[in-house]
Amino acid sequence: MFFRRLWNFLGGRNLAMDLGTANSLLYCPGEGIVLNEPSVVAQDRMSGEVIAVGAEAKRYLGRTPERVEVIRPMRDGVIADFDTTSVMISSFIAKASRGLKLLRPRLIICVPLGITPVEKRAVIEAGQRGGARDVRLIEEPLAVAIGAGLPFDQPLGNMVLDIGGGTSEVAVVSLSAIAHAESIRVAGDEMNEAIQRYFQNEFQMQIGENMAEQVKITLGSAVEQPEPLSMEVLGKNLVEGAPRSVIASDAHVREAIREPLNAIMQAVRNALEKTPPELAADIADSGLLLAGGGSLLRGLDVLIKRETGLNAVLDSDPLTTVARGTGRVLEKGKAYEGALLE
């Protein structure tokens, strides 16, 4: 215990990271989630100086003068802006670190399925430039299974659906490996964009990214709800350019996000069709585990049951499932070494 405290004081806290398109989380062994912030960076266009990172930078979205640029360096689960991602990781590691910061931490980062060798190298190099001495990677579905406490190392089929900001991934996990998986770059961000397009087409009204996300959280649902929901949505009249507000309902949002939801349901069906019969029988008994922010959409479990016949179970804390699973791999060391990517 003394040596762990000394190591932490010197800045050598090992960390597990869910480097997400929408949010990034850091997990420290023995402490749990120590950081949860939006994956956003604000910087000066002229000097390149970073003005804000994380939650503070997200507040700048749509509200900045021309000189200030707000960047989301992660797109569709992978790095879209290498330099900015490195700066963001460095800032998050600094926020999560205590003590003298003399030692560089070991870092395990969760990445989406189907990530290319070039994208893997970019994540590793961004982590190293961000302050980590050693960077290892793990695929998201395995992290979800571990974080949710599924018997992923047993000869049993476990199915998970992780709906994040940039990607939706459905996978069948058995014997500490992925037996089959489907990954699509349709998730929470695509739903937000669909809502923005809907308001533009139906109401001739432009709404910002933050407002679209608020509408999704407040009104979003996969199936008709017992009690109708509504809220005032603020934006700009596309014809006159003046501020405008409308009262939107949950029915409006269901119509807006229908296409992204259909794509996610198709991915689940594709995965089931390609799953071996023995594993499919296990999944019929155990059901489908839901994780990620998108899994909080009202009635998603009902839609999955209707479309596939599977019972869907929401993880106890779907926003942190990936980070908790990655953190457990870090804590257990060699016991989960096989789960890490080479």
What pLDDT does residue 145 have? Answer: 95
Strand order from edge to edge, sheet including 168-174: 177-184, 168-174, 158-163, 288-291, 312-314
Please state, in angstroms and rounded to a whole number, the distance separating the CA atoms of residues 232 and 328.
42
DSSP string, 31-45: TEEEEEEES-EEEET
Matching fold, domains 2-37+80-142+321-339 and 157-186+259-314: yes
Q: How confident is the model at residue 99 (pLDDT cuts 50, 70, 90)?
A: low
What pLDDT does residue 98 have? Answer: 67
- Topology given in CATH for the domain delimited by 2-37+80-142+321-339: Nucleotidyltransferase; domain 5 (3.30.420)
Contact 288, 311 (CB under 8 A): yes
Which 3-state string (H, E, C) describes 183-234?
EECCCHHHHHHHHHHHHHHHHCEECCHHHHHHHHHHHCECCCCCCCCEEEEE
Please state, in angstroms and rounded to a whole number, the distance separating the CA atoms of residues 248 and 250.
7
pLDDT over 60 (residue 8): no
Whether this prediction's pTM lies above 0.75 is answered by yes
Selected from 3.40.50.1100, 3.90.640.10, 3.40.50.10790, 3.40.50.150, the CATH number assigned to the domain covering 188-256 reads 3.90.640.10
- End-to-end CA, the chain: 31
Please state, in angstroms and rounded to a whole number, the distance separating the CA atoms of residues 69 and 146.
38
Please state, in angstroms and rounded to a whole number, the distance separating the CA atoms of residues 315 and 294.
12
pLDDT digits (tens, 9 = 90+) for 200-229: 999 999 999 999 999 999 999 999 999 999
What pLDDT does residue 102 have? Answer: 57
Structure tokens at 261: 């939801």
- Boundaries of every domain in the chain: 2-37+80-142+321-339, 157-186+259-314, 188-256
Please state, in angstroms and rounded to a whole number, the distance separating the CA atoms of residues 167 and 120.
16
pLDDT digits (tens, 9 = 90+) for 152-211: 889 999 999 999 999 999 999 999 889 999 999 999 999 999 999 999 999 999 999 999
Strand order from edge to edge, sheet including 23-28: 32-38, 23-28, 15-19, 106-111, 134-139
Q: Please identify which residue in the block is written with the tokens 């308001």.
A: 199
**For a pLDDT cut of 70, what percent of the chain falls above it?**
95
Please state, in angstroms and rounded to a whole number, the distance separating the CA atoms of residues 181 and 130.
31
- Among the listed residues 159, 154, 122, 157, the one whose alpha carbon sits nearest the alpha carbon of residue 137: 122
Selected from 3.40.50.10160, 3.30.420.40, 3.40.50.1110, 3.10.310.70, the CATH number assigned to the domain covering 157-186+259-314 reads 3.30.420.40
The distance of Cα 4 from the centroid of its chain, to the nearest Å, equals: 30
Q: In 10 A of CB 333, how many CB atoms?
A: 10
What Å distances lie between residue 122 and 26, 37, 114, 126, CA to CA?
A: 19, 21, 14, 6
pLDDT over 70 (residue 2): no
Torsion angles phi and psi, residue 340, rounded to 5: -85, 145
What pLDDT does residue 235 have? Answer: 96
Comparing 263 with 10, the larger pLDDT belongs to: 263
pLDDT digits (tens, 9 = 90+) for 63-77: 878 889 999 999 988
Q: How confident is the model at residue 9 (pLDDT cuts 50, 70, 90)?
A: very low
